[in-house]
Chains A and B, each alone.
Chain A
Amino acid sequence: MPPIPTKSEIRNRYLLMKPSPSTGAGLYIHVPFCTSVCLYCDFAVTIAGEERRNAWAVGVVREAEMYADCGLTFDTIYLGGGTPSSVVPERLDSIFVGLRGQLEINEGAVCYLEANPEDVTLETTTLWRQLGVDVVSLGVQSFDDEALGFLGRQHSASVALAAVEILLAAGFHTVSVDLIYGLSGQTPGGWKAQLARAVSLGIDHLSCYQLTFHEDTLFGRRLAHGLIEQVPEREQAELFFLTHEVLADAGFEGYEVSNFAAATRHRSRHNQKYWDHTPYLGLGPSAHSLANGRRWWNRRKVRQWQTAVDSGRPPIEDEERPSREELLLEALMLGLRTTDGVDLNRICERHGIDLLATNAATIDRFCKSGHLHMDESRLRPTLTGLAIADTLARSFNL
């Protein structure tokens, strides 16, 4: 681990970030608290009382202070977690006020909040609106109580449905629902019904994630011990294509591997930044940042992050400065996850390499096989290409 930088070193290292001319930077705040931990979760989360939650909220603002006058202007703020909706609105308010005091945040910055159904009430939604939340991502995961129980979620399907109704009525810019698929025993028909249910609600955005088994989770261990099964690859692929087809038929644009928007304006502007190397600053435990050709990330354990922040030290765990090849690989791996693909002209400007010239055979091969297509200067994946975005990215000679 590198020696922990001092505050002034931080300034010199990270702060003179070139503001991006077209888009502003993204601000991510990690809320490391949940009321219980889901069985498949590998996020940095903990269950903690009001005292620690309060300390965290103060800490986030303190951390932001370390990045004051960093040169970035933010036009998206994303509260992710964990369970941001479990943070009492007054505390959210104090965080917003604190952040605006330290960082350059645009007037019209879009504000995102992840919410769990059990936290959504008429009262909380009204307050969130007042706080300026534009987009709510609701962690529904499933409309099937049995599946919810299997996942270890706290809510029931009816609670989720009620929450969607409340959110839609509250006048948010975008109401998004998260679903999980690929639970063992799930049939294509069953999943189709789930999707139909979601679509029928009139929501603006959907994120459909295939269940992933992370090593250090209870699910991961159960899988390793053969107590649960993973859906076979062939069926996973089938569910993936089914998802995209069903949602396309329902008028949703599958603009990323797992993300679908009812209209372009409902796409996640914040997440887009991760996929096209727009700078972002992450605050809170485990949060990652990218700016000025560097990535750095915070300590994952809440206590360690808190101790650092409380003593005025940056809570950074480590950093890396990706090489040109590494950045290129990232650009491909991320860009090819989205239907916008990668803009080869922009790659050329940013990294000084003309992929069309250096990888003509590869591009040609995947265009012929129907995985990629050229659209002016953009190299876009088709749906089958999206499904093998990792293979595509790996195939380039950089």
Chain B
Amino acid sequence: MTMIFGVPLMVLTGQMLIGLINGSFYALLSLGLAVIFGLLRVVNFAHGAFYMLGAFTAWMLGQYLGLGFWPSLVIAPLIVGCVGAVVERTMLRHLYELDHLYGLLFTFGLALLLEGSFQHVFGASGKPFSAPEALTGIVRTDFVIVPIYRSWVVVASLLICLGTWALIEKTKIGSYLRAATEDATLVQSFGVNVPLLLTLTYAFGCALAGIAGVLAAPIFQVSPTMGSNLIIIIFAVVVVGGMGSILGAIATGYLLGIVEGLTKVFYPEAANIVIFVLMAVVLLLRPAGLFGKEY
């Protein structure tokens, strides 16, 4: 058996892959948080709940309408995005004028409400959700075992992240978003409907969380608390990467996923806390985050 640093290669690549998969979710979720925070200056504590909502919506579409994975992968994030739009239009926007703390408290409350409601209706236990037929199975080679669905998730999330980056950096609507992130009032004075842009941005960020939820459903099961377990780590990722940087959020997501995976190999005791240790170190040495701008 091939060994690297005294560790079987198979174990190493296996944990790298798990790290990459977790990193995919970290990247998708922290990307949405960064986009929302950049423009709205709202720390979206409901992000984990929207992730859960995405997974549950996909599960319900299957359960009640008999829809398969592929249609759900498109429809569930759209539904989550619409919920996000309604939340922004009817509630969140009334808080922009107030202290940032209110946005944080509101989204935190919203997360509790969503999770509580789902727990009440569906119970706390996880619901199984199968990966699509075409992506089941495992590819086995001498040095790595690759579950097909999981590696597909890594590629899909990478494409979604890069697509989002291109949308923001390379398109007209992206230039509105970047400019409004710097000075929303001036952009609005140019005749751009900034209130609508805020709604769309929040909806888009929530839809990204929704996509992550659907992708996660076959891997982690669908449960009301799946988001709150993850969101704490996501905030640590965001602190390490720095708020407001798109590429920074993506890169940090994958990076920390891999770091976590490798820690599991070389020092398993620290695997659950390594991200938080890194967060503390970054806060001490570079409070704005690895890729962050000072605000």
A and B are interacting partners: no
Q: Which residues of A contact B (CB under 8 A)?
A: none
